[in-house]
Amino acid sequence: MKLLCVADMHLGRFPARLHPDLLPLASELGPAAAWRKAVDRALAEGVDAVLLAGDLVDGGDDFFEAYADLRAGVERLTAAGVTVVAVAGNHDVEVLPRLAEAVPGLRLLGRGGRWETCDLEAGGARVRVAGWSFPRRWVDASPLADGALAAALDAAGPAPAAVIGLLHADRDQGGSRYAPVASAELAAAPVSAWLLGHVHAPDLAPAAGAGARLAGYLGSLTSNDPGEGGARGAWLLEVAADGALDAR
């Protein structure tokens, strides 16, 4: 099974502090163009699903700016038989549920700050995705503090070999108002991998030690200003029938 994994698109935002020579190209350097290219890649790779880890949209005022681009991409994906699964982050907590109602084929997990699961099956592999969405812009408590994830996974029945956590959260930032989670909480959770959104610098990698799992931030789909250097883009995650994961 192939999954394309994306976070922090921020549709509706325009590139900041562009060099004057690049201003005519602004529309091709922003989130909407990056989303179109991500959809192109998903179709070229023949992925089975696209997972979106929050902040697809920059803010609540960007419904109309984001609607056409998001819908066009989702329609291209679903027409090719690709499942699209998302969680809401702090930026799109208000607008993403509205977009999910308006865009057929966009499945939003974890509305209202509760853990929710969906199963994907393709190519001899089966994956369970567990997602949690921001219920409001500020969340002071960890989404993993109350055992609700384990309860949701138990309620979903026997788990497949691969269970993926899809979460927009602030890792190891005590006192954060953006769903703070500790690395120890992530490591103790009954999942095979964590695909995180919120921090724009990607660091998705296998964890160290026995029973290591894939975990980390997907990073933003594109740089939003010159201060966001380094590689950006979508991740391709391949899941084998035995649940083995490979990300690149």
Alpha carbon 223 to chain centroid distance? 16
Give residue-wise pLDDT tens across range 48-59. 999 999 999 987
Rounded CA gap, 152 and 209, in Å? 27
Instruction: State the pLDDT confidence band at 225, using cuts at 50, 70 and 90.
Output: low
The single-letter DSSP state of residue 178 is: B
Domain 2-247, classified CATH 3.60.21.10, yes or no: yes
Asked whether 2 and 77 are in contact (CB, 8 A), the reply is no
- DSSP calls for 183-207: HHHHHHSS-SEEEEES-SS---EEP
* Degrees to nearest 5, angle at CA 86 with 80 and 89: 150
In angstroms, the Cα distances linking 46 to 42, 57, 166, 237 are 6, 25, 21, 12
pTM for this entry: 0.92
For 126-181, the pLDDT digits (tens) are: 999 999 999 999 999 999 999 999 999 999 999 999 999 999 999 999 999 999 99
Tens digits of residue pLDDT in 9-33: 999 876 655 546 554 555 556 889 9
Would you call 18 exposed, middle or buried from its count of C-beta atoms within 10 A (0-12, 13-18, 19+)? middle
- Tokens 């190209």, residue? 25
User: Which residue in 132, 129, 130, 62 sits closest to 99, CA to CA?
Assistant: 62
Spacing of C-alpha 69 from chain mean position:
17
Which pLDDT score, from 0 to 100, does residue 20 have? 60
